[in-house]
């Protein structure tokens, strides 16, 4: 294999800039956030801090090596077995959890995300709208609404359900052109190489997608908007030869999340337990550690803490010290009635990583159980500052604030949870309740802050149509 990147690939122009006069960046931002809220109202998404942290860390590993200049990104992991990843104008990036069933390692998942980042950085979506308007007028909002229908995994709301006169036009505009796909492949591979991931992961992931499509009556959602052919796989393979090969990343996080996707979508817990135990004898290192973790999680769900803790003991270093392992051990200890020990385990780990959401999520309810609800509320308020648009962070704060006798915080947090979950009218009602509480307690500072936030919620767009 070659040892250098070709000049043609290293001097690519930022082709997306010309669209900025047609669809403004602010339009994209506002509609993208509205799109995300509406998506959350229609699909089940995962709030597991391990998958969210892994996903976000991987994106931020790729972004510095991409041409993306917009750093205000938001993320969602959809609870669906379907193969899909998407990047929506305004910096919204998502995956279906089922993508872990198709990717063999972090590099292959990163290849898909690098490709999506290229679509965002080159503003392909906006450029397609500009091209579409020349032939057949169609609004950005209509296109975003169409993507929403597909992303919800509703068989009655996908392309077959688009029965308006614009259906064919919408379908054509959602499917990226061959030129845009080639550009995204080329830029995506540059991003992979820059992030020191294996460029060969792109053709191998494309091949896995093609294979997945051969045995299905209907193509996966990703292939509806990103058509993949054998020639495109070959082109990606030829381009990858220009880069040095790198060892693939078989990370603990990826292995755990892949096993969990298998358990969720392919195996029931009883079959997953049997399957994972069988695989233990055939694995070593990180994959073996991940299987012990997944078994411990199954036993947690089955309320069998002794078996779960026995699996934790089998996890070797350094994976034994991973935040996810520590958090799982604490939950098992608490289930076994050892709350004080569980709190100590988490407290010791939080000294090193005080804002680690993988550790904070199980720590807060343990503090409440120990009569330390106010301390738990403070901890969670910090989480909402770090992740201000994440619904689950606000939901957990709301629950804990009620128990800490903090009604203003509780109602405000519930309002934020509802708002970012796409339930705007209910969110506004909770904000009104929070305002009443602030006035009743003569808390003028909180009242002013709530009024400002209520104004922002009220003035935000409410529909893509």
DSSP 443: -
Q: What share of the chain is helix, strand, coil (3-state, %, to 5)?
A: 70, 5, 30
pLDDT of residue 229: 80
Final residue of a structural domain among 183, 208, 240: 240
Number of domains in the chain: 2
| More confident of the two residues 458 and 142 | 458
Q: Is the pLDDT of residue 462 over 80?
A: no
Ranges of H-type helices in 11-48: 25-42
- For the residues 404-413, what does the mean pLDDT come to? 98
| More confident of the two residues 122 and 367 | 367
Tokens of 331: 């939950």
Task: Please report whether residue 29 resides in a domain.
Answer: yes
| More confident of the two residues 227 and 439 | 439
Q: Is the pLDDT of residue 256 over 70?
A: yes
* DSSP states of 80-116: -SS--EEEETTTEEEEEGGGGGT-SSHHHHHHHHHHH
* Domain span at 157: 7-240
pLDDT of residue 460: 78
pLDDT of residue 277: 97
Task: Please report whether residue 188 resides in a domain.
Answer: yes
Answer whether 118's CB lies under 8 Å from 183's CB: yes
Cα–Cα dist 178/184, whole Å: 10
Task: Please report whether residue 114 resides in a domain.
Answer: yes
Q: What is the mean pLDDT of the chain?
A: 85
pLDDT of residue 34: 87
pLDDT of 301-323, one tens digit each? 999 999 999 999 999 999 999 99
Task: Please report whether residue 257 resides in a domain.
Answer: no
Final residue of a structural domain among 191, 221, 240: 240
Final residue of a structural domain among 197, 212, 240: 240
- pLDDT above 90 covers a percentage of the chain that reads 64
| More confident of the two residues 52 and 163 | 52
pLDDT of residue 8: 33
Which residues face 94 on adjacent strands? Answer: 76, 86
Q: Is the pLDDT of residue 1 over 70?
A: no
Confidence of residue 90 (pLDDT cuts 50, 70, 90): confident
Confidence of residue 300 (pLDDT cuts 50, 70, 90): very high
């Amino acid at each position: 294999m070659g040892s250098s990147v070709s000049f043609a690939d290293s001097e690519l122009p930022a082709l997306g800039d010309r669209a900025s006069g047609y669809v403004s960046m602010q339009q994209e931002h506002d509609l993208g956030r509205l799109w995300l809220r509406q998506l959350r109202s229609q699909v089940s998404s995962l709030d597991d801090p391990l998958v969210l942290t892994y996903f976000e860390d991987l994106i931020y590993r790729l972004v510095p090596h991409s041409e993306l200049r917009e750093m205000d990104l938001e993320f969602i992991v959809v609870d669906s077995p379907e193969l899909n990843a998407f990047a929506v104008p305004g910096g919204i990036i998502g995956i279906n959890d089922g993508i872990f069933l198709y990717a063999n390692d972090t590099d292959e998942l990163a290849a898909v995300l690098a490709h999506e980042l290229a679509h965002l950085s080159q503003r392909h979506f906006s450029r397609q709208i500009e091209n579409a308007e020349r032939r057949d007028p169609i609004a950005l909002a209509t296109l975003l609404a169409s993507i929403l229908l597909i992303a919800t995994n509703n068989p009655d709301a996908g392309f077959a359900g688009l029965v308006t006169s614009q259906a064919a036009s919408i379908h054509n505009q959602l499917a990226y052109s061959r030129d845009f796909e080639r550009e995204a492949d080329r830029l995506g591979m540059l991003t992979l190489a820059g992030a020191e991931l294996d460029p060969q992961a792109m053709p191998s992931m494309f091949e896995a997608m093609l294979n997945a499509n051969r045995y299905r009556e209907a193509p996966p959602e990703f292939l509806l908007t990103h058509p993949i052919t054998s020639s495109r796989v070959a082109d990606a393979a030829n381009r990858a030869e220009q880069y040095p090969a790198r060892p693939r990343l078989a990370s603990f996080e990826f292995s755990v999340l892949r096993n969990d996707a298998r358990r969720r979508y392919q195996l029931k817990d009883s079959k997953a337990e049997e399957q994972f135990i069988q695989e233990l004898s055939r694995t070593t290192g990180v994959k073996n550690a991940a299987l012990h973790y997944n078994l411990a999680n199954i036993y947690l769900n089955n309320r069998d803490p002794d078996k779960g803790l026995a699996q934790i003991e089998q996890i070797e270093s350094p994976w034994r010290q991973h935040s996810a392992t520590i958090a799982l051990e604490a939950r098992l200890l608490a289930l076994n009635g050892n709350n004080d020990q569980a709190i100590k385990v988490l407290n010791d780990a939080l000294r090193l990583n005080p804002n680690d959401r993988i550790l904070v999520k199980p720590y807060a309810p343990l503090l409440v159980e120990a009569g330390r609800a106010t301390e738990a509320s403070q901890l969670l308020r910090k989480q909402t500052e770090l992740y201000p648009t994440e619904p689950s962070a606000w939901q957990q704060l709301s629950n804990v604030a009620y128990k800490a006798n903090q009604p203003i915080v509780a109602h405000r947090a519930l309002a934020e949870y509802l708002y970012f979950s796409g339930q705007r009218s209910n969110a506004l009602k909770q904000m009104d309740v929070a305002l009443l509480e602030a006035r009743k307690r003569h808390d003028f500072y909180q009242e002013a802050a709530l009024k400002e936030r209520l104004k922002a919620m009220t003035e935000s767009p409410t529909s893509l149509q």
